[in-house]
Amino acid sequence: MKKILIILSLGMLIQCKKDHKAPPPAPEEPKPTATFTYSLPDSAKFLSYQFTSTSTNYKQLLWQFGDDSSSTETTPLHTYRFPGDYHVILNTTNSQGYWATKEILLKVVDPTFDPTKVGENYIKTIGGTLSVSRDNGGGPNANEGSLKVIDENPDTKFFQSGFAGDLWIKFEFNSPVVAGAYTMTSGNDSWDRDPKTWYLQGSTDNIKWITLHTVNRMQWNSNERKKKILYFFDNYEAYKFYRLSIKANNGSRDFQLSDWTVNKKQP
């Protein structure tokens, strides 16, 4: 009797397995699209852009504004800190994991900015103290001492022998300033002494330094003696210390620079 019951039970199990049917596959959803528009609602507020998604068939979306910020809103109003070029990306996905993306290059421009003009030289208007990592052999007050680099006279210069790519020129202001530009003026002779690679940094405490601007390959030619070059950079912080770190010149074992100024960005 037991054998008959076991056989019947097995038969029922086999029959149950045969009768079990897999659920029908879920219907495939429409593929998502990623499209959007953007506008400048107020020309006076040139840093604020309105973005509007016109995407379809999505469940989630993600904006990336190109400045390390993002949003999951459908119509975000985003404000940038500085003018510049930003890669704006919109990603959309549906519930089945299909995705779409759209990317644009957004140029945020300050309509009032004039690249031919620069504001006051804070070294003269605010004042403070200059120091260098290594000075001229005759000291800062020598004919080619370090103080010549801030006298705003292109006919004088700071000259330092034994250049090894580790020279810095630092100015401590009497009070913190928000600089947004600076100038460099080449020497009167020997173009190979001119700086080629450097970076400008700011600090509030003379300990932690923030890099504000970098030049990797500047080269005044032999005919560009005592020529001033103007550089702009983005900065909204007031720093008490600004430092110019010279990493390379054009090959000489000597260094020269006629003038260095630290400026307000615009007049």
65: domain CATH number is 2.60.40.10
β-partners of residue 101 are: 91
| Residue where a domain terminates, one of 60, 80, 108 | 108
- What is the model's pTM? 0.79
Q: Report residue 177 as tokens.
A: 């300033």
Residue 11, domain member (yes or no): no
For the beta sheet containing 210-215, the strands, ordered from the edge strand earlier in sequence to the opposite edge, are: 128-132, 167-177, 239-249, 195-203, 210-215
Check whether residue 103 and residue 130 sit in a common domain. Answer: no
Q: Which domain holds residue 82?
A: 36-108
pLDDT 10s digits, 8-36: 444 444 454 555 677 777 788 999 999 99
**Which of 79, 108, 137 is the last residue before a domain boundary?**
108
Predicted confidence (pLDDT) at residue 4 exceeds the cutoff of 90: no
One domain, residues 152 and 187: yes
Q: Are residues 154 and 257 in the same domain?
A: yes
From 108, 135, 158, the end of a domain falls on 108
Let me know whether 67 and 185 are in one domain.
Answer: no
Using one digit for the tens of pLDDT, what is the confidence trace for 154-203? 999 999 999 999 999 999 999 999 999 999 999 999 999 999 999 999 99
Query: How far is the C-alpha of 148 from the C-alpha of 140, rounded, in Å?
Result: 8
The first and second tokens of residue 159, run together, are 């000259």
**Same-domain status, 180 and 256:** yes
